[in-house]
Chain A
Amino acid sequence: DVKVTQSSRYLVKRTGEKVFLECVQDMDHENMFWYRQDPGLGLRLIYFSYDVKMKEKGDIPEGYSVSREKKERFSLILESASTNQTSMYLCASSLNSLTNEKLFFGSGTQLSVL
């Protein structure tokens, strides 16, 4: 089975800090995604990547950047954390873009920005 691993389950950071969220998948998937989940808002797409060094903005990219230097790893960066970025962050991957493919999710990182 596909495994998507997020490096931290819980993180507490201070306003203004630079924050790195790491995600690794082990099934050679081409596509990787970062979502955030907030109560009443569902899952919202921040960024996704369809290949190494390729990235596209999702619906809410402001305040975030991403890095994909290797196929298996996709990092989400909060350049200067703010309290409104307190959220559950979910990484996901899918096989490719040629056919409809389901997403496989990691366990999530609950980030609190104080």
Chain B
Amino acid sequence: DQQVKQNSPSLSVQEGRISILNCDYTNSMFDYFLWYKKYPAEGPTFLISISSIKDKNEDGRFTVFLNKSAKHLSLHIVPSQPGDSAVYFCAADSGTYKYIFGTGTRLKVLA
């Protein structure tokens, strides 16, 4: 049973445009959500997080939106850059520190 789902395995976006990566979850106990970026042959690096008491968190070009009623979060990257090309994972935690990760979305930003 996949508690955290990223239904789009891949996404291509033109440089300078907005990239929107989506993540759905099923467990209403999740109260903290994170996004990670992963380049090939490297470990994931933390991008941005959001607590369930918020519906938006912004950090530079990256914004995460949380819709608790829909159990949905999204990561917006504006403007997208070629260096953003990577696999993006969303993760969720219910306070047990057992982070549950999605299957990832491969983003390709075209120059």
Q: Which A positions have Cβ atoms within 8 angstroms of B?
A: 4, 9, 31, 33, 35, 40-45, 48, 50, 58, 90, 92, 94, 97, 100-108, 110
A103 and B46 within 8 A (CB): yes
A58 and B98 within 8 A (CB): yes
> Interface majority SS on A: helix, strand, loop or mixed?
strand
How many residues of B sit at the interface, in one of the four size bands? Answer: 20 to 34
A106 and B103 within 8 A (CB): no
Residue among A41, A90, A100, A110 making CB contact with B44, cutoff 8 Å: A90
Please give, as numbers and ranges, the residues of chain B lying within 8 Å of A43 by CB-CB distance.
44, 89, 91, 101
A102 and B49 within 8 A (CB): yes
Please give, as numbers and ranges, the residues of chain A lying within 8 Å of B101 by CB-CB distance.
35, 42-44
Given A105-B45, A108-B41, decide whether A100 and B102 contact each other with a Cβ distance below 8 A. no
Please give, as numbers and ranges, the residues of chain B lying within 8 Å of A48 by CB-CB distance.
97-98
* Contact mask for chain B residues 85-104; partner A; CB cutoff 8 A; 1 contact, 0 none: 00001010101011111111
